[in-house]
Structure 1
Amino acid sequence: MIASSNDCDSPLRGITYSSEQRFLPVESGHHEFIGKPLEIRAVCWRPTQPRASILLVQGRAGFLEKYLPVVARLLRRNLEVVSFDWRGQGGSSRLIDNSQAGYVPGFDDYLDDLQAVISADLFSTPARFILAHSMGGHLVLRWLAERHPDGETFRQVWLTATLADLVTDPYPRWFARAVSYLACRCGFAKRYVFGGGRYDPEAFRDASLSELTSDVEEVERQRHCLQQHPELQLGSPSFAWLQAAFRSIVVLNRSDGIARIRVPVTQFVAGADQVVDNRAIYALDARLTNGTVVSIPGALHELLLESDVINQPLWSLLWEQLEQELSKGASEPH
């Protein structure tokens, strides 16, 4: 179940809910995983009388326990929350012997993870929404563009700091792409990217506070949780992950399906983001027929886990849009 400790599950204390955990089998067409069962850890948190269901989709290096403050916010609004760990991270199956390296052969595998969770019948209400962060937002857009432009049963999508393209400073983007390609061709696909390595608690704290969130208490909660549950730790991405990301970015930004997405998509941009390229998010939004971009000034990349002072405008608009949709009738699919 969700890791229980003073730090991991503290955001949920005092909230009445039930929870269900499943390990969902997923397929992989890659020869190195043939005969090796892969499972995705998925959890549903359910208040006594849920008004609607939220699919919460994490980013790279995420884990379910990391997003418990977000789960708590949603539960307090009587919203059911379904979430999961991508393959290769959190409590889902790790793919290579070095379980600390962020590795995936291609982002299409992640799309299969997303589909497996959506198809698992974990939702108990007809009013369904998606809230996705970074790589999760990237994959939700690809899932919509390539598989379900009508949103399937989802009425509204909220994306935070969408991975529309990567910031590669101090190197030019073409150089980072070339290096990842050459490293994979030369047999280093499973190696950490240059300068990367295993999870380190001090480096995690420093990087989190400089690039991800200004909320010191939240960073300490995550750090202590990872100390107590090392099986959830993940280090830097591998060259394979980086190459897969660059390839998927090209697919997303060239997809004709983006213009066919009919479900409303609101993208929140972190004003001080150093991880994803905000210009690419605006360019992506320009191709959506029912899209909106909202900038959150001063916010770092982890918008959902930023301090309350910074991300209050995000939650205010999200609650407003949610209530507008629910007022149309919870029994009517989008």
Structure 2
Amino acid sequence: MFRKTLVAFALSVAAIQAAAVPESSLTTLYSTEIQTFWQQQVKTGLMKTPDGAALAYAYVVPAQPKYALLLIQGRTEAYQKYHELFYDLAAQGVAVFSLDHRGQGLSPRELEDPHKGHITDFTLYSQDQRQFIAEVVKTQTNLPLDLLAHSMGGAIAVQLLTQQPTLFRRAVLTSPMIAPNAKVAFSEQDGCYLAAAFDWTCPDCYAGFVSQPYPHDQAFAENILTSSNTRYQLFRELYKKQPQLQLGGPTWSWLSQACEVAEQMPDFARQVKTPVLMLQSGAEQAVSNSAQEQFCQELGPHCAEGQVQHFPGAKHELLFESDKHRDQALQKILKFLNQM
């Protein structure tokens, strides 16, 4: 885990490793330093979209920042979940900006049932991000802009990279949803075939035929997101204290839209001209690893290091994983972004 003593990261990756704080100290740090950091340095606000949605956002611009970073969250996430990452990156002199997607976090839901993850048009996500960049990011800093996106955020990031090819200097995709793992019986694509059918008959029903509200009683051993019990419990406690952050499973419409975007990924890859670093979780169950590898191949010279960076044993959320995975992921990310 990276802390304020790591100001000299650009000079030495070894400095990061030497200054790592044990995961066991996180709970105490959350109630002291990280909480103070968020209270004193992080700014929050609401952005009104053309269709009337008031989307929540947060950002921090540290003293003497080196560059700015747009952090695009995954499905079910909120900027508040990224307290530790905001803290770590700001300590590295990175200005961080993040928008809660419509339908999740502190942003308004798309349906009356607040637990349904729903979208009618996936391009709304990238449209909101472009507005956020223009109205918030660019008004707060003129620094070079990089991109860090996780899971569903990876699919949104790819759209942005094709829509505005010169906007970002570099992009990092962690466990990106190049294609969802929609496995039902035998293949990752099975759920997509069903989504295409049920999107017509019941678009706002939970995908998978059963109700999937936020899992209040899910045990750590049952989760597919992280092998860090500490970070998992911090996340669960946050969502318990702020139930408005809770989100359940996706609807058929959301899944249908995600699958439609997945079909366009080969064409998107050929349009991307930005250097892209792709990080892959070895114990992945939420998205398709094979689709990530194919996408990297299609990116050609724009896929950093010529291949997806694989983290054996890591679960879906690399930036909320145990220290051995998270530290390595952050080292790779910052080394890539600090290249001139």
- Aligned counterpart for 1:301 among listed residues 294, 316, 339: 316
Q: Of 103, 127, 134, which aligns to 1:88?
A: 103
Give the TM-score taking structure 1 as reference length.
0.85
Contact 1:15–1:76 (8 Å) recurs in 2: no
Q: Indicate how the Cα distance of structure 1 residues 105 and 299 shifts in structure 2: closer, same or farther if over 3 A, else same.
A: same
Structure 2 residue ranges without an equivalent (≥5): 1-26
Match of 1:149 in 2: 165
| Structure 1 match to 2:18 | none
What is the match of residue 172 of structure 2? 158
Structure 1 residues 11 and 55 mapped into 2: Cα distance closer, same or farther (>3 Å)? farther
Cα shift at 1:207 = 4.3
**Residue 9 of structure 2 corresponds to which residue in structure 1?**
none
- 1:6-45 CA-to-partner distances (Å, cap 9, x unmatched) read 99876723548522222112234xxxxxxxx212111111
TM-score, with structure 2 as normaliser = 0.83
Q: 1:321 Cα deviation (Å)?
A: 2.0
CA distance in 1, matches of 2:123, 2:63: 36
Inter-partner Cα distance in structure 2 for 1:26 and 1:112: 9
Q: Which runs of 5+ in 1 are unaligned?
A: 29-36, 326-334
User: 1:158 corresponds to which letter in structure 2?
Assistant: V
1:226 match: secondary structure: helix
- Aligned AA (1:139): I
1:291 is aligned to 2:303: yes
Shift of 1:174: 4.4
1:66 aligns with 2:81: yes
How far is 1:212 from its partner?
0.8
Separation in 1 of the partners of 2:211 and 2:128? 26
1:328 equivalent in structure 2: none
Letter in 1 for 2:176: T
Report Cα offsets for 1:212-236 as digits up to 9, x if no partner.
1001111111111111111111111
CA contact (8 A) 2:213 2:247 kept: yes
Deviates more, 1:303-312 or 1:102-111: 303-312
Aligned counterparts, 1:193-212, within 5 A: 193-194=207-208, 195-203=210-218, 205-208=220-223, 211-212=224-225
- Separation (CA, whole Å) in 1 of partners of 2:336 and 2:136: 25
Partner of residue 243, structure 1 = 256
- 3-state secondary structure, aligned to 1:12: helix
Partner of 1:140: 157
CA shift for structure 1 position 178? 2.7
Shift of 1:260: 3.1
Identity %: 25
Contact 1:51 1:125 in 2 (8 A): no
- Change in Cα spacing, 1:69 to 1:170, as seen in structure 2 (3 Å) is same
Q: Which moved more, 1:19-28 or 1:217-226?
A: 19-28
Contact persistence 1:204–1:223 (CA under 8 A): no
Name the aligned partner's letter for residue 259 of structure 1.
R
1:126 aligns with 2:143: yes
Query: Does residue 274 of structure 2 align to residue 252 of structure 1?
Result: no
CA distance in 2, matches of 1:321, 1:216: 28
Matched, 1:108 2:123: yes
Q: Does 1:269 align with 2:283?
A: no
Residues 309 and 318 of structure 1: is their aligned pair in 2 closer, same or farther, counting only changes over 3 Å? same
Taking only aligned residues, the RMSD between alpha carbons, in angstroms, comes to 2.2
Match of 2:45 in 1: 22
Q: Is the 8 A contact 1:103 1:241 kept in 2?
A: yes
**Shift of residue 193, structure 1, vs aligned partner:** 1.8
Cα deviation for residue 161 of structure 1 reads 0.6
Matched length:
305
2 CA distance for matches of 1:10 and 1:220? 17
Q: 2:55 corresponds to which letter in structure 1?
A: I
Q: Out of 190, 200, 203, which is 1:189 matched to? A: 203
Q: Is the 8 A contact 2:182 2:189 kept in 1?
A: no
Letter in structure 1 aligned against 2:165: P
